[in-house]
Structure 1
Amino acid sequence: MKNFTHAAISPSGHGTPAMAFGRHVIRMMAANTGGSLGMFEAFVPAGEGPPLHAHEREDEFFRVLAGRFGFWCAGDYVELTEGGCIALPRGVPHRFCNVGQTEGRLMVVVTPGGFESFFPIVELCKPGTPEEIASLAKDFGLTFPPDDDRKVA
């Protein structure tokens, strides 16, 4: 990976689409930031979002670009609308859901970078079972707590 010595730029309308667990557009790759960060946009239909999960390697920063989202983290719950931001620490189980009535959009920044590659890899590999998804997720330091731990969110 090259050093982060020049601006990493993602002009409006650019990015690499990835259709895995919904529509994502990868806006900045870790390879372009010396590993410092990765960034993607997530387009989330009403009522949808990922299950409770934890990232072993990355902190996550979310900015709501459109819609209304609920975020659960460490027993806390908050709803944010357009312009709202939240930072979630690595290692802490969390989830989010589009609690609005229309498709929502999030900008997600992961630090350090690397997790942004998860969605293109899932699209390429097309895991079909929960076990295959968990195995691929583990390669990215992503884990899903057992069902008994899910009641926190």
Structure 2
Amino acid sequence: MAMPISIENAEHYNWGDNCDGWHLVKSAALSVIQERVPPGCCEQLHKHEFAEQFFFVLNGQASLIVEAETHILNPQQGLHVPAGVVHQLCNYGEDDLVFIVTSTPPSHGDRVNQ
């Protein structure tokens, strides 16, 4: 039976420099993760060979670098990153960045750091 999911009952993990992730959907075909990135933190520049991703900001402001072009995403804004495209997400703001990243197929194990 399906149950509502939230960060209160989702599988949690830590990454990077004090960042959090919660698996909201974790299946063979789809990954939906809510993540929290503190001010001043960035993930490493990377790409995914097979996974395409959609980043959607809930709180704070994301700087999403996609093939050397910086996109500023505010709450209720998102951006699609196709498979094979080099990208990096950073929080240069003063508040925690909270966002949803949807990946298909799931991006874990499909990451190539640059």
TM-score normalised by the chain length of structure 2: 0.87
Q: CA deviation at 1:90?
A: 1.1
Code of the residue aligned with 1:23 in structure 2: it is D
Max Rg structure:
1
The whole-number CA distance in structure 1 between the counterparts of 2:23 and 2:54 is 15
Instruction: Identify, as 1 or 2, the structure richer in helix.
Output: 1
> What is the aligned-residue identity percentage?
23
The whole-number CA distance in structure 2 between the counterparts of 1:9 and 1:108 is 21
Question: CA distance change for structure 1 residues 112 and 10 in 2, over 3 Å: closer, same or farther?
Answer: farther
Match of 1:14 among 9, 13, 28: 9
Structure 1 unaligned regions, length at least 5: 1-5, 119-139, 146-153
Structure 2 unaligned regions, length at least 5: none
Question: CA distance change for structure 1 residues 19 and 85 in 2, over 3 Å: closer, same or farther?
Answer: same
The whole-number CA distance in structure 2 between the counterparts of 1:29 and 1:40 is 8
* RMSD (Å) for aligned C-alpha atoms: 1.8
Instruction: Identify, as 1 or 2, the structure richer in strand.
Output: 2
Q: CA deviation at 1:96?
A: 1.2
2:58 is aligned to: 65
The structure, 1 or 2, with the larger RCO (C-alpha pairs under 8 Å, 6+ apart) is 2
Deviation above 6 Å: which 4+ runs of structure 1?
Answer: none
1:29 is aligned to: 26
The whole-number CA distance in structure 1 between the counterparts of 2:15 and 2:43 is 12
